[in-house]
Chains A and B, each alone.
Chain A
Amino acid sequence: MMRIDCPHCGPRAQAEFAYERTLDSIVTLDMAEDEAVARLYARANPRGFDDELWRHGFGCRQWLVLHRHRQTHEIASVAAFDPAIHS
């Protein structure tokens, strides 16, 4: 199991968190249909690092951005989600 270092709450067990989706699959309301479809359905799905949206559901309930390796589970960074930067 991973330990996720929440920027708001500190290090917590993964069981408190839920994966939502990759950062590049956020669809905004003003997006053109083609782009929305691509964002909804196309996934790089790498055997390596990806940027992911997680939610600290049993903690501060905030959205977080994890840069995480999908084979080793190494978490290179955790940041608070900021719509100005992340979408």
Chain B
Amino acid sequence: MTRYSALALLKAGLTGQRGWDRAWRDPEPTTHYDVIVIGGGGHGLATAYYLAKVHGIRNVAVLEKGWIGGGNTGRNTTIVRSNYRQKPLHDLFDFALGLWEGMSDELNYNVMFSPRGALFLGHSDSDMTVLAQRGDALRCDGIDAELLTRDQVRKLVPLLDMSPDARFPVHGGLIQRRGGTARHDAVAWGYARAADSLGVDIIQNCEVTGIVQSGGRVTGVETSRGKIGAGRVGICVAGNSGPVAALAGITLPIEAQTLQAFVTEQVKPMIDTVIMSQSLHCYISQSDKGGIVLGGDPDQFPSYAQRGLPPRIERAAAEAIALVPALSRLRMARCWAGTTDMSFDGSPIISALPVGGLYLNGGWCYGGFKATPGSGFVYAHLLATGAAHRLAAPFALDRFAEARPSTKRGSARCRSCADDADRLPPLRSARASRVRL
């Protein structure tokens, strides 16, 4: 495999950029793998990469029913940050953020990670109180969080509506400067190329249609390309977690829901921060191509349609225009939808399943892109060792039966963090959970 570098690019330029190797092979599946990962999204591909890289397990296949990155990985609004209020979540996401910072070098693939700052706007005194509390909790754990005044926000995003009759008055904000965006496709491709170079087979157009068991243990999978044996099988299929777990007779605390995103025509740089809001489910960023990327509310009912409701588009556009009036001049270029795996407490499930050798990584709701490297890392640990990685331990499946919140914290270090565990009601419905993107 040729290493990508400026020199390689220059050299290839002399011959018209021909002669590049393909980025990963297109192998036929063999009859048996030590580990099969179902699902070739960012999480599945990262898992395979870390299995090979960290644990030396290279007889691994990633089975993808369509094309890699064609699921939520290639449909999301690419916001990367780690400033979650609850400790187990921000610990895992901040570990992931550390991996994002070195990802392009690690994979020798430009994932265009752009830490341009992830800003939450506060629109009221109570918003600002919540943001301040969150900031304190994060800083206690060494995660960067900076509370901004209204004037500081105005300087950062001059296009915000700061007029006295603004629909959503801006009182201030909370920014994580290390947060930002990345190129979603490149994340899938980068992990695929790096995993392939370590010997992992990436098999596309290969849908898993059955999970083969013997004596309470998984022994392989049935696929659209035949039966393949496996020592361990890791499910990593996001919105399809329900149907794939059902192949092994397992029901999950997960419901599939549609989430949409939109992009406008391309314009010159106008917004260089990721804008989110404490009160609105609206988030705005500008892609490197110039399109303004917008996201909004999920559809709030179960669906696998990958096609969402028009009222959600109207609402997201209305909120975005209220925040940044200049956006009203732009035309919407495209909108699309993905099927998210909504878990009932808004947290992921990274866990062994009741069938031996079968594991699940899912329930990331609408916020799993930012977790991609960390999720792959801890899932590889689980698949390789059979034991949960320290950061994944709070996210076991049995927390639901025991009504134990995933966000129970270990040691109390400050007043506002100490309240964490008690603040999260143990039983929440999928509709009530509002984990932000």
Contact = CB atoms under 8 A, between A and B. Distances in A.
Contacts of A15: 309, 311
A21 B342 CA distance: 13
Contacts of B243: 45-47
A71 interface: yes
A71 B304 CA distance: 5
B251 A52 contact: no
A26 interface: no
A41 B311 contact: no
Given A1-B309, A21-B429, A37 B251 contact: no
Contacts of A14: 309
Contacts of B251: 42-45
B242 A45 contact: yes
A86 interface: no
A8 interface: no
Contact of A1 (B252, B253, B254, B311): B311
A50 B246 CA distance: 14
B246 A44 contact: yes
Interface in B228-271: 240-243, 246, 251-256
Given A1-B309, A1-B310, A15-B311, A41 B344 contact: yes
Contact of A43 (B252, B304, B305, B401): B252
Nearest to B241: A45
Q: Interface size for chain A: under 10, 10 to 19, 20 to 34, or 35 or more residues?
A: 20 to 34
A31 B309 CA distance: 36
Interface string A28-66: 000000000100111111110010100000000000000
B400 interface: yes
A52 B303 CA distance: 12
Contacts of A1: 309-311
A63 B179 CA distance: 43
A47 B427 CA distance: 25
Contacts of B403: 37
Interface in B291-322: 300-305, 309-311
Given A44-B246, A47-B240, A37 B400 contact: yes
A75 to B, nearest CB: 12
A71 B243 CA distance: 12
B305 A19 contact: no
Contact of A45 (B254, B309, B400): B254
A79 interface: no
B256 to A, nearest CB: 6
Contacts of B305: 70-73
B307 to A, nearest CB: 9
A59 B255 CA distance: 26
B254 A43 contact: yes
Band of interface residues on B: 20 to 34
A5 B70 CA distance: 35
A37 B344 CA distance: 12
A45 to B, nearest CB: 3
A45 B429 CA distance: 15
B256 A45 contact: yes
A21 B428 CA distance: 13
Nearest to B306: A71
Contacts of B431: 19-20
B300 A18 contact: yes
A47 B242 contact: yes
B302 A19 contact: yes
Given A15-B311, A40-B427, A41-B400, A47 B304 contact: yes
Contacts of B344: 40-41
A22 B130 CA distance: 33
Among A1, A15, A22, A52, the one with the most B-chain Cβ atoms within 10 Å of its Cβ is A1
A43 B255 contact: yes
B336 to A, nearest CB: 16
B302 A52 contact: yes
Contacts of A22: 302
Given A1-B311, A52-B301, 9 more contacts: A1-B309, A19-B302, A22-B302, A44-B251, A45-B254, A45-B255, A47-B242, A70-B305, A72-B305
Interface of B: 240-243, 246, 251-256, 300-305, 309-311, 344, 400-401, 403, 427, 429, 431
Interface of A: 1, 14-15, 18-22, 37, 40-47, 50, 52, 70-73
27 contacts: A15-B309, A18-B300, A22-B302, A37-B401, A37-B403, A41-B253, A41-B344, A42-B251, A43-B242, A43-B251, A43-B254, A43-B255, A44-B242, A45-B256, A46-B242, A46-B246, A47-B240, A47-B256, A47-B304, A50-B302, A52-B302, A70-B303, A71-B303, A71-B305, A72-B305, A73-B303, A73-B305
